[in-house]
Structure 1
Amino acid sequence: MPENRPVIALDFAEFSEVKDFLEQFAPNEHLYIKLGMELFYTAGPQVVYYVKSLGHRVFLDLKLHDIPNTVESSMRVLARLGVDMVNVHAAGGVEMMKAARRGLELGTPAGRERPLLIAVTQLTSTSEEIMQEDQQIMTSLEASVIHYAQKTAEAGLDGVVCSAHEVEKIKAATSPDFICLTPGIRPVGSNKGDQKRVMTPQQARKIGSDYIVVGRPITQAADPVAAYHTIKEEWNQ
């Protein structure tokens, strides 16, 4: 069943900005929050503990990509933070992804559920031209994404980060239960920013996305709470 809340990307630089943003929401409004590299490098684990203390779910978006041993050790540490979802780069390979899952399983405290583990296929800021020119992957963008998704499934991960445009084919190539988390979601009429492949919340739901990630259309809105509820309503239609 798809998550009924949009995942809010808190792409802030300071812990104080996180507090200011979350204080705008009612105490009983339980959110799903994405914490990325910039914020984690600034504030560290304390920002995770703070967001979790408010009853919110956390997707810790660090996109690990290193040798299997390093990724396994890192995941053992991240599992102890109490996060709900983490990710790696599928480009790290099947053995690295297996090591990531193993680290999460070993690090998850007894009685807790292992965090979901997903892999990045191609970033939504990557066009086919960029992929071919910069990465020397001489195939279509769609074929690359589907290949990475199949390797992610082979490694035993829960799903992938992908553009909503690839969701249907990824599920066909893996399984209907394979999670597809889609960034690059923009309400009708909003600025695309640096995203190349975007979709509205309603379109993403229709096409089968399990989670959507929305950042600036909420965090930079004049009324973030109203913007969040509008997008949540579109997502659940």
Structure 2
Amino acid sequence: MNNKMKLAMILLAAASIGLAVNSDIRNVSNEAKGDISQIDVTNIHSLKIQSDAAIVTVIGDKQINQAECELSKGNSHGMDTNVTKSIQDGTLQIILKNKLKIINTGPLPSLTIRLPYKEFKSLEIDNKLGNISVESELSVQHLNVSSSAGDVTVTDVIGMESSNISTSVGNVEFALPDQSAHLYVNLSTKLGKIDNQVPLEKATNTTTVVSKELHGYVGEAQSESATLNISTLTGEILFKN
């Protein structure tokens, strides 16, 4: 199967899911405030968040001592949403599952997780449908964020060793923290454009008919630099300070 056929299948699948699950994945303005549960993360070193369909937001907050998990189910009656939380071997796993009762025309549920400031080994977010936002004041060694269909926004957060940000159908916006370490950057889109607003050392561009790639270093080029990989199959990438 060639790349054009793969892309067509992804677009068709995303469109089908969007019609079946939600008419507008960005419409969350009518959500009622959900219940908030607290989680002690004193002995937690890693987090793994998995979601079928939701607006997922992770926020670092230096003013709290425990993690807070809030689920807002929106005003739709066409979907049952359930969130489970478990801790195993120092990893907190949060899983959101959806079950359709009828065709859903309301907004997607919203899952918001606030984390206290501490050192985390890894933060992994996997959302099949819906936007993902990761914001401010998080310290993490490895950051992995992926969506099958939805936009991804990462602001003032970066993996100190590695960051991998991807979406199959959607845009990616990445804003560097004010004081970031030396960083090797790899940006790629199969169908879209790359808007780079950050000076890069040893920058190289590769462009075909539709796909684009940009590689380079933030700061001085060093072999031990942390890595940042951002990719989308169809969508735009904005990389900025």
Greater strand proportion: 2
Structure whose alpha-carbon radius of gyration is higher: 2
TM-score by length of 1: 0.26
TM-score by length of 2: 0.26
Greater helix proportion: 1
